[in-house]
Amino acid sequence: RQLDVKHVLEIEVRQIELGETYVLRQKVLWPDRSVVHMMVDGDDAALHLGAYVGAQLAGVGSFYADADGVRVRLRKLAVLKAYQGRGLGGQIVASGAKMVAMQGAQFLWCDARETAIGFYERLGFVITPERFDKSGVVYVKAEKVLV
């Protein structure tokens, strides 16, 4: 099968400042909420990554280590609708997982939206069967072993 090069994106994932995450978090995850709702405990100490397509910040994800650094929580993974399904989210997660593993993390976990279970399973996460509601959205726990 021939690769369709016009659909291949040049994606660069790099560390970004916290403030760069808020607008994209809001636009994708909670468009009906204020930017204040995008701020979470631990933001100041978290690792924030951005996926760029050219000069466009098209995706973000934040990684929050627990006190001993063994478990890291992925939060606020968001990719602009025009770029969803094109590998950006997976590259953010893979880059973050690699970076936190190099710092000693052994597990990456998140509260995954039920609608994103397939995405997390493709990335090697194990999904728990329990469902729970946060702000009217159904979530599951997802975890990936990094070691």
pLDDT digits (tens, 9 = 90+) for 83-110: 999 999 999 999 999 999 999 999 999 9
The residues with which 61 forms a beta bridge, in sequence order, are: 49
Is residue 57 helix, strand or coil?
strand
Q: How far does CA 69 lie from the centroid of its chain?
A: 18
Token pair, residue 105, equals 């993390």
Stated as kind and residue range, the H or E segment containing 120 is: helix 117-122
* Sequence-distant (≥ 6) Cβ neighbours of residue 139 within 8 angstroms: 111, 112, 113, 114, 131, 132, 133
Q: What is the pLDDT of residue 39?
A: 87
**Average pLDDT for 10-18:** 94
Stated as kind and residue range, the H or E segment containing 29 is: helix 22-29
pLDDT digits (tens, 9 = 90+) for 74-89: 999 999 999 999 999 9
Token pair, residue 33, equals 């909420």
> What is the pTM (predicted TM-score) of this model?
0.90
The Cα 138–Cα 134 span in angstroms is 7
